[in-house]
Amino acid sequence: MGSSSRSFDVGDVHSAVVVEGLTRTQIVQYAGASGDFNPIHTDEVFATQVAGYPSVFAHGMLTMGMTGRMLTDLVGDGRLTRFGGRFTSQVWPGDTLTTTATVTGLDERDGEHLATFEVATANQDGVVVFSGSAEARVDR
Amino acid sequence: MPADTFPVEAGHVMAFARAIGDFNPVYHDARAAAASEVGGIIAPPTFVQASAHFDDDYPLRPRPGVRWFGSGRFASGTAEADRDDGATKPASDRGTGLHAEQHYLYHRPIRAGEVLTLNVSPGATWEKQGRRGGLLTFREVTIDYVDKDGDVVVSARAVSVMTSQAVRD
């Protein structure tokens, strides 16, 4: 529960499991909360018989949301100044995802200390599903 | 058109945080949040995505008077479904819209109780031959979420891609 910041050094690698065995129920929960009810995410019949996928799969934004949780746990609440990336592979029910954040830089801007991170979330087979970067205000 | 305004409600923030598996009290416990560094309930970093709820014409939610493309008794787009509800337009020729990239700039945290205004700027559109999904059409859009003082709180740039067939890993 990140509530205060900590200090970082360039090259530090932090990682955390952000979901273990993703459930269809959590995907449905995300559909309800986000408002994205695309049936490729929530409707197995549609996803398999019409869209041609092996099963439903997670919203990219669910993966990014879980990735963001790892970052806010790491840097503290309300401290992100930038967070972005690409969805590089699909996330399926049952997947276990691990987010790794590597400190790539420390800067000072307008009197604030900022840390930049390279961010990657990978599944249980090591396939990267989200790849991006972030910047956060840190104490030093 | 995306929603014009996005009222940020505490219950919505709580439900969204639960859905991403984040049980940090700063997203749901007013007392704990008040005592924290940010001083009140804030929204998680990707929460602005949920402004789709306030878009009257958002296509990925069943809407009155518009045929939904998910399954009922049968999967829409199959011959059985077309016989069942008399529809003629198959869903299967649409390809699939997917989210390719998302980038946020944060100027300050979003707080429960505030109402944000959306300022939408369409960006570039381009095409590419995909390895896995046939011809890919990319489209970029930036949405600035603006507070009551006219200051941008979060700027969100999305790149979506339309594939001409199901994506194969």
Given a contact cutoff of 8 angstroms between Cβ atoms, the answer to whether B50 and A32 are in contact is no
How many structural domains does chain B have?
1
B43 lies in some domain: yes
Q: For residue range B17-74, what is the model confidence (pLDDT) as tens digits?
A: 999 999 999 999 999 999 999 999 999 999 999 999 999 999 999 999 888 888 888 7
B106 lies in some domain: yes
B21 lies in some domain: yes
Nearest to B69 among A39, A69, A84 (CB): A39
Q: What is the nearest CA distance from B107 to chain A, expressed in angstroms?
A: 6
A29 lies in some domain: no
User: CB distance B106–A61 less than 8 Å?
Assistant: no
B169 lies in some domain: no
Q: What CATH number does residue A84 fall under?
A: 3.10.129.10
Q: What angle do CA A58, A60, A65 make, to 5 degrees?
A: 100
* CA dist., res. A43 & res. A57, Å (int): 10
Q: What is the nearest CA distance from B119 to chain A, expressed in angstroms?
A: 19
Q: What is the nearest CA distance from A31 to chain B, expressed in angstroms?
A: 8
A108 lies in some domain: yes
A2 lies in some domain: no
B93 lies in some domain: yes
Residue A26, C-beta contacts closer than 8 angstroms, at least 6 positions apart: A19, A62, B19, B21
Q: What CATH number does residue B87 fall under?
A: 3.10.129.10
Q: Give the closest residue to A57 by CA, choosing from A90, A28, A84.
A: A90
Tell me whether B58 touches chain A (CB under 8 Å): yes
Tell me whether B16 touches chain A (CB under 8 Å): yes
What tokens appear for A80 in the block? 């992100």
* CA dist., res. B21 & res. B158, Å (int): 23
Q: Tokens 């369409």 appear where?
A: B122
A7 lies in some domain: no
Mean pLDDT of chain A: 94
Q: For residue range A52-84, what is the model confidence (pLDDT) as tens digits?
A: 999 999 999 999 999 999 999 999 999 999 999
Domain of residue A91 covers: 13-23+59-138
A130 lies in some domain: yes
A79 lies in some domain: yes
Domain of residue B71 covers: 5-163
Which residue is closest to B90 within chain A, CA to CA? A50
Q: pLDDT at position A5, please?
A: 55
A99 lies in some domain: yes
Q: Helix B10-19 vs helix A60-75: angle between axes, to the nearest 10 degrees? A: 100
A73 lies in some domain: yes
B168 lies in some domain: no
B167: pLDDT confidence band, cut at 50, 70 and 90? Answer: low
How many structural domains does chain A have?
1
Task: Please give the full DSSP string across A41-81, using - where no structure is assigned.
Answer: HH-HHIIIIIS--SS----HHHHHHHHHHHHHHHH-TT-EE
